[in-house]
Amino acid sequence: MERIAIDVGGTHIKGGIIDAHLTLKDKVKIETPNNIDEKITDAVFELVARYIEKHQLTRPQIGISTAGVVDEEEGHIVYTGPTIPNFNGTNFKTLLSPLSDDVHVYNDVNAALLGELSLYDYDAQNIFCLTLGTGIGGAFYHRDTGLYNGARNRANEIGYLLYRPTDETTYELRGSVRALKQRMQAQHFEYDDDVIKLFELAIDERDLKAQEILNAWSEDVAEGIAQIQILYDPELILIGGGISSQGERLLRYISPKIAHYLPPEYGHARIQTMQTQNDAALYGAVAQFH
């Protein structure tokens, strides 16, 4: 059986077909409309309709991963911060009802964690997933009870942690990949906001500017991870988002700094990058269909 998977992010909308063998096919990526002049709902409906026609599917199962606070049972967006305007109240089950009777909708970080767990086996009883992208999101999973969403579906919204009144910034406004790119541009990095180039040059001990940018940014990332450790005490913290493809290059900057924001000898969970990297949410969007 082929299922349609859609991942709505602040920068891009991705889509793909995932078959019974968990093979991702016909992957596409488009820019996320600004949701003012052009609507996200129109782009998602058109993308799904195109998949249905191209692959000759009849009312297929559709999984939606989306940024924002999501009522996963009702399929609508409860709340979004400033990253996507006019998104509150969007209902993907209603939107796609002309095309399918079986639509699952997940917060994007929940979907990313479900996707990772559908493809890879971890021995940890409880896992926190932290995604670094346009914003910062979180998800918490316990092997016995599954995902924890909180009383109002607002659990794990860690991007809003660590508000600093002096510059009116939150954790995600300092530690996201968008924030990293802004640092690069503010410091006139030679390759503008090319994050891959930044990591490549930082390996070279002579490129002090690349190292300086990554050191400053990773301090902000590590500060938030310390809060996660205190609040959840997980066995494993997984870092996702496109930047997770940097693997050990990323962890070497973040992991040693976490202890800076914890009491002496407090300790913290294992820190790893996600193996599915930027496709995790697509897999997770369809992971719990039967």
Do residues 29 and 156 share a domain?
Answer: no
Cα separation, 195 vs 82, in Å, equals: 23
Q: Which of 105, 171, 144, 140 is nearest to 238 (CA)?
A: 140
Per-residue pLDDT tens digits for 26-84? 999 999 999 999 999 999 999 999 999 999 999 999 999 998 899 999 999 998 877 78
Do residues 239 and 133 share a domain?
Answer: yes
Do residues 125 and 240 share a domain?
Answer: yes
Do residues 100 and 196 share a domain?
Answer: no
Domain CATH for 93: 3.30.420.40
Do residues 165 and 134 share a domain?
Answer: yes
Do residues 106 and 9 share a domain?
Answer: yes
Mean per-residue pLDDT of the chain: 94
Residue 209 confidence (pLDDT): 94
Q: The dihedral of CA 19, 24, 28, 29: what is its sign?
A: positive
16 falls within a domain: yes
Q: Which of 125, 53, 70 is nearest to 284 (CA)?
A: 70
The letter for the amino acid at 76 is H
Do residues 146 and 252 share a domain?
Answer: yes
Of the two residues 259 and 83, the one the predictor is more confident about is 259
Residue 276 confidence (pLDDT): 87
Q: Which of 148, 195, 128, 137 is nearest to 170 (CA)?
A: 137
- Pull the structure tokens for residue 82: 């400033």
Q: What angle do CA 6, 74, 61 make, to 5 degrees?
A: 40
Residue 230 confidence (pLDDT): 97
171 falls within a domain: yes
| Model confidence at 134: pLDDT above 90 | no
How many domains is the chain partitioned into structurally?
Answer: 2
Residue 81 confidence (pLDDT): 73
Total-model pTM: 0.89
3-class secondary structure, 157: coil
Do residues 265 and 135 share a domain?
Answer: yes
Mean pLDDT of 137-152: 93
Mean pLDDT of 257-283: 93
| Model confidence at 277: pLDDT above 90 | no
Do residues 103 and 213 share a domain?
Answer: no
203 falls within a domain: yes
9 falls within a domain: yes
Q: Residue 281: count other Cβ atoms within 10 Å of its Cβ.
A: 33
- Give the length of the chain: 290
Residue 279 confidence (pLDDT): 87
172 falls within a domain: yes
Band the pLDDT of 183: cuts 50, 70, 90.
very high
Mean pLDDT of 144-169: 92
290 falls within a domain: no
Band the pLDDT of 232: cuts 50, 70, 90.
very high
Do residues 232 and 251 share a domain?
Answer: yes
The HSE-up count of residue 132 (CA atoms within 13 Å, CB side) is: 31
| Model confidence at 198: pLDDT above 80 | yes
Query: H-helix or E-strand containing 18?
Result: strand 12-18
Enclosing domain of residue 31: 3-112+279-285
Do residues 133 and 191 share a domain?
Answer: yes
Name the burial class of residue 186, with classes exposed (0-12), middle (13-18) and buried (19+) by CB atoms within 10 angstroms of its CB.
Answer: exposed
| Model confidence at 92: pLDDT above 80 | yes
Can you tell me which residue has the tokens 């991870």?
Answer: 225
190 falls within a domain: yes
3-class secondary structure, 12: strand
180 falls within a domain: yes
The letter for the amino acid at 193 is D
Q: Which of 29, 116, 65, 31 is nearest to 282 (CA)?
A: 65
Do residues 73 and 135 share a domain?
Answer: no
| Model confidence at 249: pLDDT above 90 | yes
